[in-house]
Structure 1
């Protein structure tokens, strides 16, 4: 009998980093077991490197992200890491960082374990970045792609830097997402590799031809040498160039995949299932039939986008920018109000109290449109509160209306009746950090979905990143 395959999955998220050690288990109903996992908060937010980026900029310190990654690896059982034969990596999509080829990190072999630390690396400009105004985006060339280009997309950020900080770009000769960067550093790649999943999230990428829009970009003076080479998601990017903690040198590393695709893969047991994830943001995804091809030109007003999945299939995705971050904004506002009144209270206390109040408040007539961050298809949309009466001003009413608004906003983007048309009597696998700690959001999801909703199955991008590579390797062994 062949020895079980052990794979390390890594997810470099917006607020935290997670690592999971996964082993194939043919006797288990799911086909795998998670041997160990660890998560660490990154706390990586920093001020923008360019003053011209303005208050809408969202950047993160790559050093802090890699420190969180190293802390995760250090916390995993070392005897499990010794068994790892492949590493799958996913991460927050759309964002971009820059580095110098051959100088992007330094390895320290001494001490408790070999680690790498960033060097000659820019900040990560994240998917939440808002420096590209609607007017600026309208000035960019039309992409040859079925996907729109929005603020926070890698190519849009490069265009902005080209106009506002051209000297900045001259300092670097490579770029990628945060997870492309980690793969490149682990393998010592001379040029970064990028899957079509991440390339599509940057804009100016044709998923049919699997190519960047090079002619269009060059005509606008875009530095196309910064664009990574394209490779199949989770195909072999290379082998680890150093021992990493207890993982041997020469271990297979997969081409990085998107955290959306990894999350869906981790829990979509049937093709007819839809996957709802409510974390910092919200995604509702459904697998399109094999052979489906999206329209060749982008529709800026379309709330549903079609992202590359695996084996040249697509996910239909309603990706709302307004999820758990809206609740966090509301909590921060309450804490700030109380501070202005001379009262100090922890945000965690406010959050738990407001959820308790909303659980008791089963219904409300108050209506909140929670789009404080706009939406990619409606970038200028703001939040609003309507149907305000004196009887609906309690904390329970407002919190209930806010949670309902988050779900209803998603419903307006991708009506659940559409899911039924695509998948028959589809079920909905529902999870995410914001959902797991918020009973009110769960109730509102159950209220909104007309068919079966299952909670408790963890949507886990780190596990998904491991599973994609694990399944790919098992299939290759069989063939």
Structure 2
């Protein structure tokens, strides 16, 4: 039996599969780890994340005693810092600074590019850019630590009870920025121009880069803490995107539309020169590492489920202010009434295009995407056309419409036709009524692969399942 774990921005998911890839058990839990510091900061408490994982694994309703391996996937780009001398008490450990963090503003990024070249692909929320910001703005804080990694790498260290030896896959290393594709390593030549001499030898040791199919150790003394056996083989961590792309056998190209906290539209194709040259013309597409000789081409949106979540917060805050309800009741309102009701709305496509409600900009600026980003607009949500007859359904349908429209601006039906892609699979919130009809409207030439028929026992079909299945699905026999 294999265990897949996904450490998401909002929740943690676990999935156990047997040797035939049948789902034995799956579950998820919101970790509520956000730490509010400043408006532009987005940090999470690693202890709360670990406690949530412990709660999920230690309170299983079934007996699990024959797990042979586990693999963790999770939110990419983010970085967590710690001191290699710490124990499981986490004496010297920073918060996780996530991909949604905005402390590295446009001026900071512009100055970096002036030093090392305008072609550098970096954006706010990228791990090594955040590390550089800390080096320049909070050096005393930074000097408490000598190791860094993604939250997945950190949890692997926790499971191994070894915080000194850190591994990161090339998939996740790329997401930090400052990566040399030819050497398949961090670009130390560029980094040396930005950090002090010997910074990465004397002060901060970067993780060792390994391939995604590697094993990086075994669990130690986890039975009493997590309720899972000791000596389980730990596989190298995946990005949540790559894990989500591993849930189907890819004998033909498939379009993946993934909506979680953020949103992605992605497909996997072989690294032939014709395909690579063609797709690199689209500056909005990111080329992500997948397995040797295959890349995951992705349009990554900052705004996905988080845009809906922020709107739910606005509505609930206004409602609670008027009716003076307490925090517990407000939480129930968000989780039970708003989310369950809103995600099950089926928007009227024609109404979404004629109700005069226009979202000029969603909550977060989109990376690398001038077609959906207007530098002259203020921060936050920008709406035109609200009136006294505007309904909640109008608002949520229009937000969902904007998200899928942004997606289609990056990967259009014309592009998919030219690549011979005619099937798509919907993952996470993409498979809810709110989004599904809109996706079918924009991608009307794509037939939907219904994954629930393949995995009837899974609570959700997502990156936790993909993490557990990765080795089998990505084996050479399946390509």
Q: Shorter-chain-normalised TM-score: which range?
A: 0.7 to 0.9
Equivalent residues of 1:264, 1:459 under 8 A apart: no
Using a 3 Å threshold, how does the CA distance of structure 1 residues 380 and 242 change in structure 2: closer, same or farther?
Answer: farther
The 5 Å alignment of 1:329-368 reads 329-342=310-323, 344=325, 346-347=333-334, 348-351=336-339, 359=347, 363-364=351-352, 365=354, 366=356, 367-368=358-359
The match for 1:420 among 411, 417, 422 is: 417
- From 30, 35, 38, the equivalent of 1:41 is 30
Does residue 180 of structure 1 match 2:150?
Answer: no
- 1:144-192 CA distances to partner (integer Å, 9 max, x unpaired)? 9987211111001001101110011110110000001111222226321
Query: Partners of 1:36 and 1:358 in 2: how far apart?
Result: 30
Could you tell me how far 1:246 is from its partner in structure 2? 4.9
Residues 370 and 101 from structure 1, CA distance in 2 versus in 1: closer, same or farther, beyond 3 angstroms? same
Does residue 136 of structure 1 match 2:108? yes
Alignment partners' CA distance in 2, 1:255 and 1:269: 21
**What does 1:196-235 align with in structure 2 at a 5 Å threshold?**
196-221=170-195, 223-224=199-200, 225-235=204-214
Q: Secondary structure at the match of 1:255?
A: strand
Residue 271 of structure 2, aligned match among 290, 295, 305:
290
**CA–CA distance in 2 between the matches of 1:239 and 1:425?**
40
Shift of 1:392: 6.8
1:411–1:43 distance in 2 versus 1, CA, 3 Å: same
Kept after mapping to 2: 8 A contact 1:38/1:75: no
Q: Is the 8 A contact 1:16 1:41 kept in 2?
A: yes
Q: What is the aligned partner in structure 1 of residue 456 from structure 2?
A: none
Partner of 2:70: 87
Secondary structure in 2 matching 1:241: coil
CA distance in 2: counterparts of 1:228 and 1:443, whole angstroms: 43
> Are 2:235 and 1:254 aligned?
yes
Closer/same/farther in 2, CA of residues 143 and 315 from structure 1, 3 Å limit: farther
- Provide TM-score, normalisation by structure 2: 0.84
Q: Secondary structure at the match of 1:219?
A: helix
Match of 1:319 among 282, 296, 300: 300
- 2:44 match: 60
Matches within 5 A, 1:357-396: 359=347, 363-364=351-352, 365=354, 366=356, 367-378=358-369, 383-386=381-384, 388=385, 393-396=390-393
Q: How far is 1:359 from its partner?
A: 4.1
Consecutive unaligned residues in structure 1, runs of 5 or more: 1-5, 26-31, 49-53, 107-116
Query: Which segment drifts farther, 201-210 or 391-400?
Result: 391-400
Q: Is the 8 A contact 1:7 1:466 kept in 2?
A: yes
Output the CA distance in 2 between the equivalents of 1:390 and 1:79: 55
SS at match of 1:288: strand
CA separation of 1:390/1:55 partners in 2, compared to 1, >3 Å: closer, same or farther?
A: closer
**Among residues 121, 127, 131, which one is paired with 1:158 in the alignment?**
131
Deviates more, 1:216-225 or 1:258-267: 216-225
Instruction: Note if 1:442 corresponds to 2:436.
Output: yes
1:451-470 equivalences under 5 Å are 451-457=446-452, 459-469=461-471
Q: Match for residue 119 of structure 1?
A: 91
State how far apart, in whole Å, the 2-side matches of 1:33 and 1:353 are. 31
Please identify, of 406-415 and 60-69, the stretch whose mean Cα deviation from structure 2 is larger: 406-415
Shift of 1:416: 2.7
> Residue 147 of structure 1 contacts residue 305 of structure 1 at CA under 8 Å; is this kept in 2?
no
CA distance in 2, matches of 1:246, 1:118: 20
Separation of aligned partners in 2, 1:284 and 1:214: 31
- Superimposed CA distance per residue, residues 21-66 of structure 1 (whole angstroms, 9 cap, x where no aligned partner): 11122xxxxxx11111221211000134xxxxx4110000000000
- SS of residue matched to 1:322: coil
CA contact 2:249–2:473 (8 Å) conserved in 1: no
Q: Deviations over 1:361-408 (max 9, x none)?
A: 86231332452201111476555444x386973333333222211111
Note the alpha carbon deviations across 1:1-25, whole angstroms, 9 max, x for none: xxxxx11111111111111111122
Report if the CA contact (8 A) 1:431-1:455 is conserved.
no
Aligned to 1:409: 406
Q: Secondary structure at the match of 1:79?
A: coil
State the distance in 2 between where 1:144 and 1:314 align.
25
Equivalent pair of 1:403/1:441 in contact (CA under 8 Å): yes
The alignment's TM-score, normalised by the length of structure 1, stands at 0.84
2:62, 2:267 → 1: CA distance?
A: 37
Alignment pair present for 1:101 and 2:73:
no
- Tell me the distance in 2 between the aligned counterparts of 1:144 and 1:210: 20
Alignment deviations for residues 113-145 of structure 1 (CA, whole Å, 9 cap, x no partner): xxxx53321100011111110110111147799
Q: Which moved more, 1:132-141 or 1:285-294?
A: 285-294
Query: Cα gap change, 1:179/1:146 in structure 2, threshold over 3 Å: closer, same or farther?
Result: farther
Number of equivalent positions: 440
> Does the 8 Å contact 2:6/2:464 carry over to 1?
yes
